[in-house]
């Protein structure tokens, strides 16, 4: 679980920041379409940022000339469950599109339907031979069904294009984190090496402090999450001991009382640590809210629920 939640959040956040700029989104479109050029003015960013009912937000979504909807996800851990997530992202994207354009799905007039294109940029170390993954192949053993969806998998990109540069950025970041840990040194060295090697050079030079801040903030969140998971494990062990205490009392009251005191102390210490982590999570959430992060981003990295983030904004949430 630790790997899935926090290991590569720094790179994912830089990905969203990079392609939230229409200039680089236009380059992304070109990389995905054999060099076809579009103007940034032809791009409309439609990345899902905030849904109050659930933590549903994608990496990058954009529309080109009002005719194509493109969703691009970036994963460092291979999981074909991305297909299911993309179905959810795509449905919500179309829902928002029809609301924005005031097109009624109940009208006798046929609505517009921008063509969907779905991509997965994979930056992990596993060798992936598939050019496409689909719902029917991945989940139905190739059986035909009334609904299918296909996602193009990109593992390298063409030499020098924006996708290839981003993938190289993630590799350099991995190398520097291996050397220096999740520190400002790793962030600074990543940016220095990338600029020297002409990898995202313009973007990194123009947004050096912003990118460094993004990486360091995510490093801090990952550290807190790791502490939280370790503490949760200790609580689980202590609770297991408490169950054993009850069984021990059935065997011998004297032994049970002795175990109970020791185990109770262990549970108390572990619960105290959880309270401390909870307090830190709220502190992280407050800092992220002050920096203008969306409720969903705050929820994702602080591990508070959406409702708890809403309570925090109203001043109703206190450390336990």
Residue 31 has pLDDT above 80, yes or no: yes
Digit-coded pLDDT (tens) for 127-154: 999 999 999 999 999 999 999 999 999 9
Q: What percent of the chain has pLDDT over 90?
A: 53
Q: What angle do CA 216, 222, 226 make, to 5 degrees?
A: 150
pLDDT, tens only, 227-247: 555 555 566 666 666 666 666
41 DSSP assignment? G
pLDDT classification of 36: cutoffs 50, 70, 90: very high
- Cβ atoms of residues 167 and 156 within 8 Å: yes
pLDDT digits (tens, 9 = 90+) for 258-315: 666 666 666 666 566 666 677 777 878 887 777 677 788 778 777 788 888 888 888 7
- What pLDDT is stored for residue 230 in this prediction? 56
Instruction: Residue 32: count other Cβ atoms within 10 Å of its Cβ.
Output: 20
Give the domain ranges of the chain: 2-155, 224-314
Alpha carbon distance 236, 232 (integer Å): 6
State residue 232's pLDDT score: 55
């Amino acid at each position: 679980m630790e790997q899935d939640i926090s290991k590569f959040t720094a790179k994912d956040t830089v990905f969203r920041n990079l392609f939230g700029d229409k200039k680089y989104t236009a380059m992304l479109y070109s990389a995905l379409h054999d060099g076809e050029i579009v103007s940034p003015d032809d791009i409309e960013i439609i990345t899902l940022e905030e849904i109050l009912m659930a933590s549903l937000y994608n990496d990058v979504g954009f529309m080109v000339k009002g005719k194509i909807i493109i969703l691009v996800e970036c994963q460092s851990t291979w999981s074909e469950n991305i297909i299911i997530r993309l179905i959810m992202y795509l449905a919500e994207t179309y829902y928002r599109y029809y609301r924005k354009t005031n097109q009624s799905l109940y009208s006798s007039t046929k609505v517009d339907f921008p063509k969907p294109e779905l991509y997965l940029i994979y930056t992990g170390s596993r060798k992936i031979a598939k050019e496409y993954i689909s719902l029917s192949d991945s989940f139905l053993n190739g059986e035909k069904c009334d609904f299918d969806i296909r996602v193009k998998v990109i593992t390298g990109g063409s030499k020098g294009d924006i996708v290839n540069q981003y993938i190289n950025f993630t590799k350099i970041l991995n190398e520097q984190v291996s050397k220096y840990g999740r520190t400002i040194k790793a962030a600074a060295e990543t940016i220095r090496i990338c600029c020297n090697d002409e990898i995202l050079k313009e973007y990194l030079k123009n947004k050096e402090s912003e990118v460094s801040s993004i990486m360091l903030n995510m490093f801090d969140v990952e550290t807190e999450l790791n502490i939280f998971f370790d503490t949760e494990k200790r609580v689980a062990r202590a609770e297991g001991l408490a169950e054993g205490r009850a069984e021990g009392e059935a065997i011998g009251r004297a032994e049970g009382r002795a175990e109970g005191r020791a185990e109770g102390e262990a549970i108390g210490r572990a619960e105290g640590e959880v309270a401390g982590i909870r307090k830190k999570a709220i502190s992280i959430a407050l800092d992220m809210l002050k920096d203008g992060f969306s409720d969903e981003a705050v929820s994702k990295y602080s591990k508070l629920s959406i409702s708890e983030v809403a309570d925090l904004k109203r001043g109703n949430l206190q450390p336990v």
